[in-house]
Amino acid sequence: MLNKLLFKNQDKKQLIIAIIGAFMGITFLITSIHYIIKVNDFGKGVDVFGPNTIIVQKKVTNASSLNLTKTDFSNKELQKIKNESFIVDVQPVISNNFDVSFETSDSLVPYFRTDVFIQTVDQKFLGVQTDQWHWKEGDDFVPMIMPREFLVMLNTFMCASGIPQISDELAKEVKFKFKIWNGKGMERVNARIVGFTNEVSSLLVPASFMKFGNDKYSDGTEQKITQIIIAGKESEFGLVEDLLNKKGLETKNAQMIVGRLKSVVGTLFIVVLGISIIAVLASGLVLIQYMQLLMSRNSYEVRTLLRLGYNPTDIIKSFFYYFIKIFGIVASLGLLVFFVFKYFLDEMFASGGLYIDTEMTYFSIISLLISYTIFALASFNTAKRGIFKQF
C-alpha cells in the first residue's frame, strides 16, 4: 500500500532515462576494468624482467672508438640518473672479467660448446623465484637465464645436426657446464637454465657466481660498468626515452618499443578508467536526482504519512529499498551484458592473435560491489534527508 502510494504516480520516462544511464555506466565500468587488468597482464611472465625495465649502454661513436670518449659509467652518472623522478631504480650490470665458455653436458643432447659473455643484474629486477636464484661453491649447479635468441641458435644447430629441437621447458632440464679459466687455472661448473629473456644478449648468472669467477680467475684488467639496468615508472616511459636520448644512451630497439607501447597503453587505460568512473558516478547521480524528484513530487504524501503516525524510518526504507532494487537490477543487467561483450571481445582479440586470459577478474566484481555500496549509501542519505525535511 505504501509503495503504491509513493511510487505509482511517477514520470516513468525520467526513470527509464536514469536506468539506461546507470546501466551504460555500470557496463562500461566492468568492461573497462576487466580489460585494463587483462591487457595489462598480457605478456607478463614471458620475460624475467619486470615492466618498464631496460638495459642500456652508451652509444658507440667514432670518438669512443678512438678512445676520445668513454663508454663506461661512473658512480656519479649512475646517481644522477637515479635522482630523476621517473626512475624507480638504477643498478650496474656486472660482466665477467675472466674467460668463460658454455657447453652441453647431457647424454640427451649432442656436445656443443661456445665462448660466452656472462652478466649479472640485481635480483630485484628479475622475476625468477629467489630460492632458484642463488649459488655458492659446492652447489650442484649455477642457475642461469638464457637469451632466447641463444636457444634459437642452439635449436638451429640441433636441426642442422638432425637432432630434434628442444622447447623452453625441455631446455630447463638439460645439463650444461661453464668452463671458467685464466692463464693460471681452469675449472668446470654445472649449470642449468631457470628462465629466458628477450632483453639481454648475454647469459645472466647470480652475483655470487660472478664474484667467485672475478675473484678467482680475473684477468687483472679493471672492472668497468659498460651497461646499466634501469626501471622506470609505469606510464612515464616517454621521460625515460627522453633521458636516454639526452645522455646518448641506447638500448635494444624491441625493448624501447615494448616500453613505449606499455606506457601509451597504460596512460590510455587510466583515461578509460577515469571516464568509466565518471560515467558510473554521473549515472548514479542521475538516479539519486530522480529519487529527490520523486520525493519532492510525493512531498504531500510523505508529509501526510508522517502526520498520520508513520515512522519516518519506514518511509526512508521504502525509498531506499525501491532504489537499491532498481540499481541491483541495473547492476545485474550490466554484468550480464558485460559477459556478452566479453564473449565477443575475447573472440575478437583471439582472432587478432592476442590470446589474453579469459578468466573473470575479481576487480571488475569488486568495482561493481563498490559502486553498489556507494549508491546504496548515497540513496539512504538522500532518502533520510528528504524524509526528515518533511517531518
- Our measurement of the distance from residue 75's CA atom to the centroid of its chain's CA atoms, rounded to an integer in Å, reads 30
User: What DSSP state is assigned to residue 131?
Assistant: G
Nearer to another protein, 148 or 384 (CB): 384
Cα dist from 18 to 165, 283, 377, whole Å: 61, 7, 18
Q: Is residue 8 a contact residue for another protein (CB under 8 A)? A: yes
Closest distance of CB 5 from another protein, Å: 6
2 interacts with another protein by CB under 8 A = yes
Going from the C-alpha of 166 to that of each of 108, 152, 172, 208, 287, the distances in angstroms are 11, 9, 10, 29, 60
Residue 272 near residue 216 (C-beta atoms within 8 A): no
Among 4, 12, 13, 246, binds another protein (CB under 8 A): 4
As measured in angstroms, the least distance from the Cβ of 379 to another protein is 20
In terms of Cα–Cα distance, which of 297, 298, 290 is closest to 315? 298
For residue 1, state whether it binds another protein (rule: CB under 8 A): yes
Minimum Å gap between C-beta 387 and another protein is: 9
78 binds another protein (CB under 8 A): no
Site track 295-314 with another protein (rule: CB under 8 A), x = hit: ------x--xxxxxxxxx--
Cα–Cα separations (whole angstroms), residue 281 to 27, 31, 206, 370, 375: 13, 16, 50, 11, 9
- Does the protein bind another protein through residue 388 (CB under 8 A)? yes
Least distance from C-beta 378 to another protein, angstroms? 22
For the chain, how many residues are written? Answer: 391
Is 9 a binding residue for another protein by CB under 8 A? The answer is: yes
Q: Residue 143 has which C-alpha cell?
A: 642457475
Shortest distance, position 384 Cβ to another protein, whole Å: 11
Size of site (CB under 8 A) for another protein: 18
245 makes contact with another protein (CB under 8 A) = no
Nearer to another protein, 5 or 15 (CB): 5
**Using rule CB under 8 A, residue 328 touches another protein:** no
Pairing between β-strand 118-120 and β-strand 87-95 as defined by DSSP bridges? antiparallel
Contact between 92 and 225 (Cβ < 8 Å) = yes
> Does 343 help bind another protein (rule: CB under 8 A)?
no
Q: How far is the CA of 223 from the CAs of 58, 72, 73, 233, 295, in angstroms?
A: 16, 10, 11, 30, 78
Give the footprint of another protein on this chain (CB under 8 A): 1-2, 4-5, 8-9, 301, 304-312, 388, 391
